[in-house]
């Protein structure tokens, strides 16, 4: 863990991180963090609990987690001691990609988007490790390449999310659809409209 990043409690509020993909030490943040970027997290072995706005959210491992980091957020508890990935994408860059209107709307309205399953976990782990290694190369060409790869991954994320929503709608129309709908609603995204704890099951 020698190269893992540690939160600086003295960093100015709203200070940008820029385009990053870093390994962070699993420790609770001493205060809320806010920055006008899209943040992507990935916990390789164990999940974590987050306090995002007014909700405690239990995140499982091996899934991409994405939210608008202007929302006050802080890590709280970690079952394990493994480093986890944090990527930040400047909001202006994310909006210019025009990834998906539905995804963009949900993120900018305070929702936390979580990959629905672990099917892409190995692929995501490989991408994140590559981005982490390559972003040490500060050349324009390398950053441009990584941004293209990030854009492509988020487009795939949006496609998977759209398919899940279609499945939810179809299941909701069935006799037992309401129960399935509620389960998938929790698994697929977390809305920040009320104050309670959400556990996202694998």
- Domain ranges for the chain, please list them: 20-196
Res 183 pLDDT > 60: no
* Lowest mean pLDDT, pick from 46-50, 171-175, 192-196: 192-196
Res 60 pLDDT > 60: yes
As a whole-number percent, the residues of the chain with pLDDT over 70 amount to 81
What is the per-residue pLDDT across 109-123, written as a single tens digit (0 to 9) for each? Answer: 999 998 877 889 999
Residue 185 in tokens: 């609603």
Res 26 pLDDT > 60: yes
Rounded to two decimals, the pTM is 0.83
Output the pLDDT for position 178. Answer: 57
Output the pLDDT for position 1. Answer: 45
The angle that helices 177-188 and 140-172 make with each other, rounded to 10 degrees, is 160
The CATH number of the structural domain formed by 20-196 is 2.60.120.10
What is the per-residue pLDDT across 74-112, written as a single tens digit (0 to 9) for each? Answer: 999 999 899 999 999 999 999 999 999 999 999 999 999
């Amino acid at each position: 863990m020698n190269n893992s990043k540690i939160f600086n409690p003295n960093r100015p509020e709203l200070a940008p991180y820029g385009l990053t993909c870093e390994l962070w030490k699993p420790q609770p943040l001493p205060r809320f963090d806010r920055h006008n970027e899209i943040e992507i997290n990935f916990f390789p072995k164990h999940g974590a609990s987050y306090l995002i706005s007014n909700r405690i959210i239990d995140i499982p491992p091996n899934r991409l987690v994405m939210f608008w980091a202007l929302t006050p957020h802080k890590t709280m508890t970690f079952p394990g001691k493994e480093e986890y990935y944090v990527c930040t994408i400047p909001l202006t860059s994310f909006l210019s990609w025009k990834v998906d209107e539905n995804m963009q709307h949900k993120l900018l309205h305070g929702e936390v988007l979580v990959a629905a399953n672990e099917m892409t976990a190995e692929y995501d782990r490989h991408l994140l490790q590559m981005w982490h290694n390559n972003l040490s190369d500060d050349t324009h060409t390398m950053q441009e390449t990584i941004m293209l790869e990030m854009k492509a991954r988020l487009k795939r994320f949006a496609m998977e999310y759209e398919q899940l929503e279609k499945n939810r709608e179809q299941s909701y129309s069935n006799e037992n659809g309401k129960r399935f709908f509620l389960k998938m609603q929790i698994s697929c995204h977390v809305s920040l409209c009320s104050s309670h704890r959400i556990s996202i099951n694998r």
